[in-house]
Structure 1
Amino acid sequence: MKKIAVVGSINSDYFVEADVLPKTGETILGNNFFRALGGKGANQAVAASRLGAEVSFFGSVGKDDNGYFAKDTFMQENIVTSFLLFENNAHTGAAFVEISNSENRIIVIPGANSFTNKKYVENYLEQILKHDIFIFQLEIPMETIDYLIPILYEHQKIIIVNPAPAQLIKQDIIDKITYLTPNEHEYQEVLDQPDSSMEDALTKYPNKLVITCGQDGVKFFDGNRIVHVPVHVVKAVDTTGAGDTFCGAFAVALADGKELSECIRFGNIAAALSVQKKGAQAGMPFKKDVDQIIKEERIDDTERDIPQN
């Protein structure tokens, strides 16, 4: 299996649960509070590692309790931590997550993630290039994306960009990305196409633009038609981290040599399993969990094909 490198963010996630989310200026009583390791980069690394990939993390934390907690957690998840930068002049990134009725809204404070910059990449470039598949998000400086992706493209690496939080990506960078995976609310801003329909956007980027649409599944254009890969339906407890689980699982399937539609299906199943527990990483499945669902679906398909008397 190909080696995966996640170049991205690490945060301490602070979760607050309530029956309803407060309106502007309103104070309400919540039901629960907890803290966990997060950051889109860290989440995607954990998801990929649990699904059997060899994963290295490239990123920055503060020289504080949260930073050391992140390293310890990565080691427990079998993620290579040799390239973590412990920054003296910043705290570990933080995210504040409000949860109500399985929905969430999030504010992120980058902190030490800002130090995963061009200088950081220059220091670790030799080690970075030893990997095959790369996952990026937009919780690190955009200069890192703009600098590193052209180098990876020249070395014919597989490049996945999960463009969240959504912001414009330069066209020459988009052209060098292998797979761009925004959700249905992000693609217009990322592509600088505010009036573009999803169909128009997809057809402009065949087998590159992969749009996740929540309960409506995932869509991409294969060069001939728009392909819709449906979700695996479960009862959701907390959707935090579902998109990150999809992205990590998608990378694992690519590393295993699967076709694009199968990679998306694998990601959909992993994401569905992840929402059945609270917290971004708590519900992330292991390979045996996803393989079991795939096996059950194959049995169901076989039974449907049996002629009935």
Structure 2
Amino acid sequence: MGAVISSSEEEEEEEEISSEEEIEEKKSDNIEESDSYTSYSESSSSSDDDGSFFGDSTGDESSESETESELDEVVEGTLFGMGNPLLDLSASVAEGYLKKYDLKANDAILAEEKHKPMYQELVDLFPVDYIAGGATLNAIKVAQWMIGVPRATTFVGCIGQDKFGEILKEKAEEIGVRTAYYIQNKEPTGTCAALLCNYNRSLCANLAAANLYDKDHLDRKETWSLVEQAKYYYIAGFFMTVSQDSIIAVGKHAAENGKTFMMNLSAPFLCEFFKDNQVASLPYVDILFGNETEAATFARVHDLGTDDLMKVASKLAGWTKINSTRPRIVVITQGHESTIVANGPHDVKKFPIIPVKQEDIIDTNGAGDAFVGGYLSQLVQGKSIEECIQGAHFAGNMVVQQHGCTFPEKCIFES
């Protein structure tokens, strides 16, 4: 399914959302206080336009001192994704329909019992588009599309032994993604209601089968060999509610072998109610994505002492990191405003977007996932941060002008 309007990724999970066990973190031990040393700058003199949304930052001309690395060869299995595969039921609804099911615009939640009737009701009452997705799979699909090398990406998750599962598998493989699903018959393939209302979207995910992913599947020789083959890993935060052990296993492998491990804050509720899992995963993360709402929620939950997103990015970049041979990169999107990028805690920049006219926006569902996919597509080729952001802005721009997280047959992006 799609992702948060501004960016993260993101999407759906189903674990009970209980705020009961909140971990008492020692934030001061985990956060590098870098405010007085951090250099904040704008990567371009362009200013944001109030009428803008996601855009392509190809006009970004920052005079960076970074040396350009040689491009990496992308081969089969270079990028590994693991997450919750879902079939999106995308429909346009009125505000009253959101209120009926106690849903909010620009939000992503897990389905409760009161939401269960909604899925069949959507099919009965509205024209529905069926789109293969889930936060991680959306990002992997976009990355595969932009990379263009067959089976350069791999996706792992759990589906049911049913027609929807077959559709998810077929749709991903049509684009060139290699899939390695854990298929079981206890639960049907997961679905996500993607409700579009006044250019905004509300996501309500019924994980079903996606919630049953078993680490035993990851440990199987044939699956773990795919982990070993990869050099880059991306897991949306929603998977923390499903298989935290699997996340840690992949994160450890990446850290021990000098590979790149990436995650997404994905949704405010994860920052609040799964913060223990989030804190356990974060030390392994080399690149962290999120949108402005998620970053602000993280800052509040962890008492970072600021709501300035430039400083929040700096503090997240300075959080304890196991592989200390390179700085953590933090990418925070802000909808129609500039994207914030921290390359370590002391180097924080803004990258202006190129506006999309309001009338050209068709569907924001999946825009955040597409942004991540665009970034990943350039990262695995050894491109610079600036070029990765260009790819990200291009993908986000393109997806908001489509229905769901979909794209044309041919990718025309050039960095």
Task: Name which of 186, 192, 207 aligns with 1:95.
Answer: 192
1:55 and 2:179 aligned = no
Letter aligned with residue 144 of structure 2: S
Q: Distance in 2 between matches of 1:286 and 1:230?
A: 26
Q: Cα offset for 1:136? A: 0.4
* Aligned residue number for residue 306 of structure 1: none
* Aligned residue number for residue 128 of structure 1: 227
Q: Distance in 1 between matches of 2:177 and 2:297?
A: 32
SS in 1 for 2:193: strand
Residues 114-135 of structure 1: CA deviation (Å, up to 9, x unaligned): 2333222212222211111111
Structure 2 matches for 1:97-176, cutoff 5 A? 97-123=194-220, 124-140=223-239, 141=242, 142-166=244-268, 167=270, 168=275, 169-176=277-284
Letter aligned with residue 199 of structure 1: M
* Aligned residue number for residue 306 of structure 2: 196
Distance change >3 Å, CA 171–CA 23, structure 1 → 2 = closer
Letter aligned with residue 390 of structure 2: R
1:181 and 2:302 aligned = no
* Aligned residue number for residue 298 of structure 1: none
1:244 and 2:365 aligned = no
* Aligned residue number for residue 307 of structure 1: none
Equivalenced residues, count: 289
Farther off after superposition, 236-245 or 139-148: 139-148
Task: Name which of 165, 172, 188 aligns with 1:74.
Answer: 172
Q: Distance in 1 between matches of 2:214 and 2:354?
A: 37
Task: Name which of 381, 387, 393 aligns with 1:256.
Answer: 381
CA contact (8 A) 2:330 2:343 kept: no
**Bigger relative contact order (CA 8 A; separation at least 6):** 2
* Aligned residue number for residue 353 of structure 2: 231
Q: Distance in 1 between matches of 2:169 and 2:100?
A: 38
Q: Distance in 2 between matches of 1:220 and 1:286?
A: 29
Q: Cα offset for 1:185? A: 0.8
Letter aligned with residue 189 of structure 2: T
SS in 1 for 2:238: coil
* Aligned residue number for residue 40 of structure 1: 135
Letter aligned with residue 196 of structure 2: I
CA contact (8 A) 2:353 2:393 kept: yes
SS in 2 for 1:51: helix
Residues 91-137 of structure 1: CA deviation (Å, up to 9, x unaligned): 11110111022210010111222233322221222221111111101
Q: Distance in 2 between matches of 1:244 and 1:181?
A: 10
* Aligned residue number for residue 304 of structure 1: none
CA contact (8 A) 2:339 2:351 kept: yes
Letter aligned with residue 80 of structure 2: A
Q: Distance in 2 between matches of 1:126 and 1:171?
A: 27
| TM-score, length of structure 1 as denominator length | 0.85
Q: Distance in 2 between matches of 1:154 and 1:120?
A: 21
Distance change >3 Å, CA 171–CA 285, structure 1 → 2 = farther
Distance change >3 Å, CA 284–CA 46, structure 1 → 2 = farther
Aligned CA-pair RMSD? 2.5
Gaps of 5+ in 2: 1-72, 103-121, 319-327
CA contact (8 A) 2:157 2:181 kept: yes
Q: Cα offset for 1:270? A: 1.2
SS in 2 for 1:32: coil
1:24 and 2:99 aligned = yes
| TM-score, length of structure 2 as denominator length | 0.64
* Aligned residue number for residue 411 of structure 2: 287
SS in 2 for 1:48: helix
Q: Distance in 1 between matches of 2:351 and 2:408?
A: 20
Q: Distance in 2 between matches of 1:242 and 1:16?
A: 16
Q: Cα offset for 1:25? A: 4.0
SS in 2 for 1:24: helix
Q: Distance in 2 between matches of 1:172 and 1:100?
A: 36
Q: Distance in 2 between matches of 1:273 and 1:23?
A: 26
Residues 285-309 of structure 1: CA deviation (Å, up to 9, x unaligned): 7432x22xx5xxxxxxxxxxxxxxx
CA contact (8 A) 1:9 1:59 kept: yes
CA contact (8 A) 2:331 2:340 kept: yes
Q: Distance in 1 between matches of 2:280 and 2:194?
A: 34
Q: Distance in 1 between matches of 2:227 and 2:362?
A: 36
Farther off after superposition, 204-213 or 178-187: 204-213
* Aligned residue number for residue 299 of structure 1: none
